[in-house]
Amino acid sequence: MEKHARIYVAGHRGMVGSALVRKLQAEGYENLLLRTSSELDLRNQAAVAAFFADERPEYVFLAAAKVGGILANNTYRAEFLYDNLMIESNIIHSAYETGVKKLLFLGSSCIYPKMAPQPLKEEYLLSGYLEATNEPYAIAKITGIKLCEAYRSQYGCNFISAMPTNLYGPNDNYDLNGSHVLPALIRKFHEAKVNDQPTVEVWGTGSPRREFLHADDLADACFYLMQHYNGELFVNIGTGEDVTIKELAEIVKATVGFDGELRWNTEKPDGTPRKLMDVSRLHAMGWKHTTDLKDGIEHTYQDFLANEVLYVE
């Protein structure tokens, strides 16, 4: 990407999008096209088409999405499917119509079948049934991958896709009704500590295993792929390492400094038993994560403390 290139980061105020903006600016890219959801409704086809026609971005990072944890995914199934289908369809089609040089679509590790072999290899896509609680979101993300493949095949577009593992970092969502497990644990333990609560409830059994990647590492990987990768097959982005939810809870508990007990609510769903990404292809390309999980959680908690008023209002 040329330093003067017009680069559109869709979803720049979210955790992933803001990390991409930080990375691009650190690398000397200042000609960034940024729009908030109030300025540009990405679900509106006409509005997105007009934006692309007027601004003519040369490169696109498609990080905009409606996201959430198990509760949000399972509760707002129609919104998670419709909103994400519209967002990705509108952007990918407009990128084609206006001659965007390269587009990177970001999916999610939930695209893989619930009982797929571990670690998850890219070729396992569509080889089995999805996890029921987040099926609509997964279907939308699979559609995004297939759209990029189809526009590449039919029109020759250089549209690539990357599938990140579970993410965390600055600008995460700490709403307990819609957040993922790690930010939810940070908020729960912090509020329990502040309020001198004796226990913290954690969903499930604690046995599922999850992999976690810092958002800044993801942004670095995305930048690397935009510079070096032009293949059709999507690329997993992760650490290749995982922990149990119980181990994660203990790390967050120690980081926050909560002295009480954990209470596991086994009536709540565990979700997929394990989601570990096979990142051998990305490693072979020359990229590897640099943020240790404990260090990353510590930095994320410090960010939470600095922005608590914004994150929990």
**Residues classed as catalytic:** 137
22 is in an annotated binding site: no
240 is in an annotated binding site: no
12 is in an annotated binding site: yes
- Residues 230 and 160: beta-carbon distance below 8 Å: yes
User: In whole angstroms, what is the distance from residue 176 CA to residue 313 CA?
Assistant: 12
- Residues 85 and 45: beta-carbon distance below 8 Å: no
167 is in an annotated binding site: yes
204 is in an annotated binding site: no
218 is in an annotated binding site: no
11 is in an annotated binding site: yes
- Crossing angle for the helix pair 215-228 and 15-26, nearest 10 degrees? 60
- Other beta carbons within 10 Å of 303: 16
13 is in an annotated binding site: yes
15 is in an annotated binding site: yes
14 is in an annotated binding site: yes
Residues sharing a CB contact under 8 Å with residue 105, sequence separation 6 or more, in sequence order: 62, 88, 92, 144, 145, 147, 148, 159, 160, 161, 162
Q: DSSP string of 121-181?
A: -GGGTTSSPPPGGGHHHHHHHHHHHHHHHHHHHHH---EEEEEE-EEE-TT----TTT--H
Tokens encoding 108: 């999610």
17 is in an annotated binding site: yes
271 is in an annotated binding site: no
106 is in an annotated binding site: yes
Q: How far is CA 257 from the centre of its chain?
A: 27
What is the maximum alpha-carbon separation in the chain? 60
* Helix H or strand E segment including 32: strand 32-33
- Other beta carbons within 10 Å of 264: 16
270 is in an annotated binding site: yes
Binding site for NADP(+), by residue number, is 11-17, 106-109, 141, 164-167, 180
Binding site, by residue number, is 11-17, 106-109, 141, 164-167, 180, 188, 203, 210, 270
Binding site for substrate, by residue number, is 188, 203, 210, 270
